[in-house]
Amino acid sequence: MRSVDLPGTHTDVNPGAARARWWMVVVIAVCLVTAASREVGSQGSPGAIESGRLLVATEELRDPRFFHTVIYLLRHDATGTIGLVVNHPLADVSMADLLRSVGVNRPGAAGQVRVYTGGPVDPPRGFVLHSADYTGPDTQLVKDGLAFSVQSDILIAIADGHGPRRWLFCLGYAGWAAGQLEAEVQRGDWITVEPDQSLLFDLPPERKWDQAISRRAIEL
């Protein structure tokens, strides 16, 4: 069997050249590790608090307002965090009544709308979380083909058949001051996982928490 020469192990090799080769190996290794860590970081680490992730209440969270709650994070930055609860339905109303509530008279508007409790902050305010195939004058893109809108234009577009393919209507939102959510995650009240549109828009609300919390093991 042929032996493998490692830098600096043979006394008949020039010590200066051996040290040079050894440092070259170290430098290459450091570069490879750094590149790998950058690649992982660009994909987001498990448990990261980021816009476009799901914030999922754990069994340890005792606040009854957020029991088994799943929240889609619309924004997380130095100013704080806002998100929409996506699994607590409030009521089913007609599209005509919903439009009337925002000052639009469309008595012929067809269909029913499931209204969700988006969170305890500013409950009269309406949000539409939706797929990004629709963009209106106030639409804000979030991540991975998802967006949200807050003006009545999107409800009119939906009623007229020109709205997004997938959407969810919420009243109110959940909000945290800067650093507050980080402390709650550190305490074990919440985990964060990657969402998908099927979980957000297709699953019955009573199944969303089970599906979301089960993703914790997948992302570890």
- The DSSP bridge pattern shows strands 167-177 and 121-131 to be antiparallel
Dist. CA 192–CA 174, nearest whole Å: 15
**Residue 123 exposed, middle or buried by CB count within 10 Å (0-12, 13-18, 19+):** middle
- 69 phi and psi angles, rounded to 5 deg: -90, 145
More confident residue, 3 or 121: 121
- On whether the CB atoms of residues 190 and 56 are closer than 8 A, the answer is yes
Task: Tell me the per-residue pLDDT of 16-62, one tens digit each, with 9 for 90 and over.
Answer: 444 444 334 333 332 332 333 233 233 345 568 999 999 999 999 98
Q: What stretches of 117-169 show up as alpha helix (H) in DSSP?
A: 153-159
Domain 54-219 class, CATH top level: alpha beta
Residue type, 50: E
pTM here is 0.78
Question: What angle is formed at CA 199 by the lines to CA 197 and CA 205, rounded to 5 degrees?
Answer: 130
Which among 108, 87, 88 has a CA at the least distance from the CA of 97?
A: 108
- 111 phi and psi angles, rounded to 5 deg: 100, 165
- On whether the CB atoms of residues 116 and 100 are closer than 8 A, the answer is no
The residues spanned by each domain of the chain are: 1-43, 54-219
Report the range of poorest mean pLDDT among 83-92, 99-108, 151-160, 186-195: 99-108
**Tell me, what's the pLDDT at 43?**
38
